[in-house]
C-alpha cells in the first residue's frame, strides 16, 4: 500500500500542494479561517475542480468513477448533510459497537433527523462515513461542535479504525491539545501552501 499521494494539487488561487501520506498516518491541518483548508479536502475528494494529481495506492483518481473514488476517499464536512426524515434511512448498514462508543443505541435509527442536535448529527455522520470502509478519511473539524468527552470518543474511534484498516486520516483541527493527541504529522495551511511543524 502506497497511501495517498498528492502532486502539485492546485485549486482557485492557492499555491500548489505536494504531499505523500503513508498508510496508518494521521495528518492534522491547521491555519487561519478562510485560508483554504476545506477547499483542500474537497479537491482531494474530487468534489471541486482542480489541477494536479491525486493517487491512492498508486492509482490516479481520474481512473475511478467519481462515486467509487468518494467511497474510498471520503470527506466528513463540518456541517453534515441529511436528506431523509429518519436517521435509519441514511444507513444501509451500521456497526452497533460504533453507535455505542459514540453514545447511541440501535434505537437511534428510528429518530427523526430534525430532532438531532448538531453534535448528534456529526457523530452519526462519522459512523455513516465509516460504514463505507473508506481508505482515506478527510475530516473537517469533526469535533468542533462536541463536548470534551464526546470529542475524545470520536478521536478513539477514528484511531481504532485507522489502526484496523491502515487508513490515511487528514484531520482539520484548531485545538492544539487535540493535535498533540492524534497527529503523526502536523501542517499549517497558508496562502503559500503547506509547511510542516515538528510533532512533540
CATH code of 165's domain: 3.40.50.300
pLDDT at 150: 97
pLDDT at 192: 82
How far apart (Å, rounded) are the C-alpha atoms in residues 152 and 144? 12
pLDDT at 200: 66
How far apart (Å, rounded) are the C-alpha atoms in residues 38 and 9? 14
Phi, psi for residue 197 in degrees, rounded to 5:
-100, 155
Counting the structural domains of the chain, the total is 1
Distance of CA 139 to the CA centre of its chain: 2
Question: Residue 23 is part of which domain span?
Answer: 4-197
Q: Is the dihedral of CA 40, 126, 124, 120 positive or negative?
A: negative
Q: Which residues of the chain are modeled with pLDDT < 50?
A: none
How far apart (Å, rounded) are the C-alpha atoms in residues 6 and 16? 10
Residue position matching grid coordinates 490516479: 60
How far apart (Å, rounded) are the C-alpha atoms in residues 50 and 161? 29
Amino acid at each position: 500500500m502506497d497511501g495517498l499521494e498528492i502532486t502539485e494539487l492546485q485549486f482557485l488561487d492557492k499555491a500548489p500542494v505536494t504531499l505523500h501520506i503513508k498508510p496508518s498516518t494521521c495528518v492534522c491541518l491547521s491555519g487561519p479561517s478562510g485560508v483554504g483548508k476545506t477547499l483542500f479536502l474537497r479537491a482531494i475528494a474530487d468534489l471541486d475542480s482542480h489541477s494536479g494529481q491525486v493517487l491512492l495506492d498508486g492509482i490516479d483518481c481520474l481512473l475511478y468513477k467519481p462515486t467509487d473514488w468518494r467511497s474510498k476517499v471520503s470527506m466528513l464536512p463540518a456541517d453534515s448533510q441529511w436528506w431523509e426524515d429518519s436517521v435509519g434511512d441514511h444507513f444501509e448498514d451500521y456497526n452497533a459497537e460504533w453507535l455505542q462508543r459514540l453514545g447511541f443505541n440501535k434505537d437511534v435509527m428510528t429518530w427523526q433527523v430534525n430532532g438531532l442536535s448538531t453534535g448528534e448529527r456529526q457523530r452519526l455522520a462519522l459512523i455513516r462515513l465509516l460504514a463505507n470502509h473508506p481508505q482515506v478519511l478527510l475530516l473537517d473539524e469533526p469535533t468542533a461542535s462536541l463536548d470534551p468527552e464526546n470529542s475524545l470518543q470520536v478521536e478513539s474511534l477514528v484511531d481504532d479504525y485507522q489502526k484496523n484498516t491502515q487508513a490515511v486520516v487528514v484531520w482539520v483541527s484548531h485545538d492544539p491539545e487535540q493535535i498533540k493527541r492524534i497527529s503523526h504529522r502536523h501542517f499549517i495551511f497558508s496562502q503559500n501552501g503547506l509547511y510542516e511543524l515538528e510533532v512533540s
